[in-house]
A and B are shown apart, each in its own frame.
Chain A
C-alpha cells in the first residue's frame, strides 16, 4: 500500500514537471523564466539530497556543501569562459584576466578548455578535497558540533580565497558572461528548456540512486553510525571508511548540482559559497524533513520557491521569514514539512490504524 502511494507521488511529480511544464513552455503558457527558475531549484534539490545523505542519514553536519557546489559550478564556468575566449580569437585569455594585466592563461585553467576534462575535474576536485579534508577530520574523531564548526571555518577560508583576484577566478565578481556551451547558445529558450529537463533527470537519477544506497547494507551502516557511532565501531565496522565515503558522495552530488546550476544562472560568484549559503542548504533539509530523501527535495523546492515569491513581494522581510521558519521548525516540527504533512494525513485517515512502523528512530542526536 505504501509502495503504491509512493508511485502515485512519483507519477504526479514526473507528469507535472517533465510533461506539463515543458509542454506548457513550448506552447507559450509557461514563461522561459519560470522554466529556468525551476531548473535551478532542481539543482538545489540535488545538493539537498547530498546534505540529507550525510546529515540526515549519517548524522554528520557538514557546513561546507556550498563550497563543493561552487567547485562544480566554477569548473563548468571556467570551461565556458575559456572556450568562449578561445573561440573569439586573440590570446584565449578571458577578459577579466586581461583587465588584471594577466596575458597568459594560468596553468590550472588550461585543462578546462576541454569539456570532458572540465566535467571530470569538476567532479574529481571536490571528491579529492572531501577525501583529504575528511580523512584528517574523521581520523581524529572530530564529530558533532566540532565537525560543523571546522567545516564552517573551511567554507569561510575558501570563500575568502575565492574572493581574491590573485587566485585568477574572477574575484568578487566571479565568472560571468557565458555565451556557448558545446556550441549551444545558453541564452536561447530551447537550450534553457534542455538544461531544465537535464537537471530534472539528474535529480530523479540522484534520488533513485540515493534511495538504493540508503536501502542497501551500506545505508544501514550509515544509520547505525548516526544512532551510535561507538557501538558501530565496536561491531568491527570501520566507521572512518563509511564516513569518508558518504562525505565524498555528498560532495559529488553538490558538485554535480553546481555544474548544472552555473550555465542556467549565467554567473557564479563566491557569494554562492559563503558561510550563510552552506547553512541555508542544511536548512532546506531541516525544513523539508531530515532523514527522508523526499523531505530534502521538498524542502529545497519549497524554500527556494518561497524565496522567489517573498523577495518580489516584500523584499525586506525575507530574512525575517526564513529566520522564523528556522526557529519554528527546529523547535516544533522536528520532521519538517514532510513530517507535518504526514501528521495531517494521518489525522484524515484516523479510522485506519497506523500500520507503518517508524523507520527512522527519533534519536538523531549526536
Chain B
C-alpha cells in the first residue's frame, strides 16, 4: 500500500502548480461546440486558437481527432473512430472526446460501432489544422492507443517547454491504462527529480521512482547517481540502484525457475508414456514423438472443424481437443501396436529401429497432408499472464501446461496404483510369464498400455500447440530429451520420470541462463553421463537379483 500513497503524493505535488485546470473546463466545452458548429466563419479558427492557447489536457483528445481528420458529430457530441474491427469490415468503434475520453455506449452500456459513411463528419480546413502546431507534441498524449501515449510521454523529455510538467501531470490524471500510467509517471518523476533543488525533495522523487518501478528506473537512477549535484541524493540514488539490481536478479531467477518447471512438465508429459511402455514391454518407441505430433495436428483439425466448418468461433475447441487428441493418438498407437510392435516385445534394439522407420513414415505423411507449418490459435483465455509482481509475469499458457501435467500425472498414478488395470500392468512389468500363468492376459494389457502411453503423448502434443507452431517434425525435437528423462529416471517408474523430468528441465533452463542453450545441452549430457557412473540404473532402480540380466 505504501508505494501507491507515495506515487499519488508525487502526482499531487505536481498538480499544485497547475491548479487552475478545473476552472477552465467549462469554457473548453463552449469552445469545442464552437469548433463543431461555428456561428460565423472566423469563429472556428478563433475557438481553435483559444483551445491551443489554453493547452488543457482534457481538450487534447478532441484536438488530436481534429488533427487526424477523424472528427464526427453524434447526438450533438463530438466523437472519433478507433481501430477498424476486423479486416476491411468498414466498421469502427466510436469514442467520446469531451468531457471524457471513453468508448461510446448505448442505453444498455454496450460499446457502439458504426460504419464510417453513416456518421456526420465535420470538415476542418487545412489552415485551421495547421494552427494546432504549438500543441502537436502533446496531442499524442491523448491518443487512444496506449503504446502511442507511452511514446508521447517519452517525447516530452526532449521538448524544451516549461509547462510540460503540468501538461504531463494533467494527462496522467486521465490515463487509464496501467502500463502507460507507469511509464508516464516515470517520465514525470524523472523530470521532477532533475529539476529538484533540495535534498529532501530529490529523495522523495527517488522514492517515487523506485516505488513506481517502471521500465527504465535503473538507468534513470544510475544517470542521476552519476551526474547529480546533490551529494546525499546522489548516494541515495546509488543505494537504490544496487537494491533494484539485486531485486531484478532475483526476479530473473524466479523466471528461470518457472520456465524450468514448465519445460520439465512438458518433458514429464512426454516421458510418462514412454517410461510406462518401456518398463512394461521393453519397447523403445522412437515414434513416440510422432504421437505427440499427431495430438498437435488433432488439435489443429479440431480448430479448423470448429471455426471454419461449424462456424463456432469460441475457445471451446481447445477443451474438446484435449480428449480428442488423447483418443486419436491412442488409436494410432493401438494400430501401430497391432501391426508392428507386438512382434518385437522385449527386443528393445529391434523395436528402436522399426519404430524409427514408423516415425519416418508418419512425419512424411504429416508433411504431405498438412504442409510444413501450421499454427493453432491459442484460446483467448490463456493469453496474457498472471502478474505476481511488477516485472514478474507468469504466462497463463505455461501455467496451464503445468496444471495439466499435475492432473495427468495424478490420474496416471491413480490408474497404476489404485485400479484393477494398474495392478495388472504392474504385475506384467514385474514378471511377464508369472502374471501370464496367473491368468493375466498379457497381450491385452500390452495393447491397453500402449494405447494409454500414446494417448499421453497426444495430450502432450495438444498442450504443445499452446507454446509453439505445429510442424511435422516437432516430435523429434523432444524425443531424445525425453529418452534421457527415462534413462535418468529408471525404467518404468513414474516417480523417476517426474523427478528426472523436472530435474532435466530445470537444469537446462538454469544452465541456459549461464551459457548459451547449446552449451547448456552439452553440459546436461555430461552431467547425465557422470550421474550414470554412480547410478547406472537411474534414480529409482529395480531392487533385487532379478534386476540383473
Q: Hey, which bits of chain A sit against chain B, CB under 8 A? A: 61, 133, 136-137, 139-142, 144-146, 148-150, 152-154, 156-158, 160-161, 163-164, 230, 275, 279, 282-283, 286, 316-317, 319-320, 322-327, 330-331, 365-366
Contact = CB atoms under 8 A, between A and B. Distances in A.
User: Top 3 closest A-B pairs, CB basis?
Assistant: A326-B357, A323-B361, A323-B360
A61 B349 contact: yes
A330 B350 contact: yes
Interface string B335-370: 000001001101111101110111111011100100
Q: Which of B278, B363, B487, B528 has the most CB of A within 10 A?
A: B487
A161 B517 CA distance: 10
Given A142-B532, A153-B480, A322 B360 contact: yes
B317 interface: no
A322 B518 CA distance: 30
A325 B348 contact: no
B134 interface: no
A275 B348 contact: no
Contacts of A153: 480, 483-484, 525, 528
Interface of B: 278, 284, 340, 343-344, 346-350, 352-354, 356-361, 363-365, 368, 476, 480, 483-484, 486-487, 516, 518-519, 521-522, 525, 528-530, 532-534, 536, 548-549
Contacts of B358: 323, 326-327
Given A320-B364, A330-B350, A331-B343, 9 more contacts: A136-B530, A140-B536, A150-B525, A153-B484, A160-B522, A323-B358, A325-B357, A326-B354, A326-B356
A324 B340 contact: no
Contacts of A366: 348-349
A286 B522 contact: no
A140 B533 contact: yes
A147 B174 CA distance: 66
Contacts of B363: 319
B480 A156 contact: yes
A163 B518 contact: yes
A106 to B, nearest CB: 17
A62 to B, nearest CB: 11
Contacts of A279: 353, 356
A145 B346 CA distance: 11
Q: Name B's interface SS.
A: helix
A97 B337 CA distance: 50
Contacts, number: 120
Contacts of A317: 364
A160 B521 contact: yes
Nearest to B530: A136
16 contacts: A136-B529, A140-B534, A144-B348, A144-B349, A150-B532, A153-B484, A153-B525, A156-B480, A286-B353, A316-B368, A325-B357, A326-B358, A326-B360, A327-B358, A331-B343, A366-B348
B474 to A, nearest CB: 15
B364 A149 contact: no
B340 A319 contact: no
A326 to B, nearest CB: 3
Nearest to A332: B343
B492 to A, nearest CB: 12
Contacts of A140: 532-534, 536
A330 to B, nearest CB: 4
B525 A157 contact: yes
A164 B522 CA distance: 13
Given A275-B476, A330-B354, A330-B357, A161 B522 contact: yes
Between B284, B359, B365, B518, the greatest number of chain A beta carbons within 10 A of the residue's beta carbon is seen for B518
B327 to A, nearest CB: 24
A321 to B, nearest CB: 10
A145 B353 contact: no
A136 B361 contact: no
A326 B354 CA distance: 6
Contacts of A141: 536
Nearest to A229: B549
Contacts of A139: 533
A293 to B, nearest CB: 19
B480 A152 contact: yes
A148 B354 contact: no
Contact of B522 (A136, A157, A282, A316): A157
Nearest to A164: B518
Contacts of B483: 149, 152-153
B15 to A, nearest CB: 54
A146 B484 CA distance: 9
Contacts of A316: 364, 368
Contacts of B519: 161
Nearest to A331: B343
Given A142-B532, A145-B352, A156-B480, A327 B357 contact: yes
A234 B533 CA distance: 22
A152 B519 CA distance: 17
A275 B480 contact: yes
A4 to B, nearest CB: 34
Contacts of B522: 157-158, 160-161
Given A61-B352, A141-B536, A323 B484 contact: no
A330 B353 contact: yes
A326 B360 CA distance: 10
Nearest to B362: A323
B484 A149 contact: yes
A118 B34 CA distance: 87
A322 B348 contact: no
B536 A282 contact: no
Contact of B340 (A156, A283, A331): A331
A136 B353 contact: no
Contacts of B340: 327, 331
A301 to B, nearest CB: 19
Contacts of B530: 136
Nearest to B352: A148
Nearest to A141: B536
Given A140-B536, A153-B525, A161 B356 contact: no
A251 to B, nearest CB: 17
Contacts of B533: 136, 139-140
B347 to A, nearest CB: 6
Given A139-B533, A141-B536, A142-B532, A148 B349 contact: yes
B518 to A, nearest CB: 5
Nearest to B346: A365
Contacts of B364: 316-317, 319-320, 323
Contact of A145 (B284, B343, B480): B284
A146 B530 CA distance: 14
Nearest to B356: A279
A137 B349 contact: no
A146 B483 CA distance: 9
Most buried by A among B352, B368, B525: B352
Contacts of A326: 353-354, 356-358, 360
A146 to B, nearest CB: 6
A152 B482 CA distance: 12
B487 to A, nearest CB: 5
Nearest to A61: B349
B440 to A, nearest CB: 24
A365 B353 contact: no
A230 B548 CA distance: 10
Contacts of A283: 353, 356-357
Given A319-B364, A326-B353, A154 B348 contact: no
Contacts of A365: 346-347, 349
A142 B354 contact: no
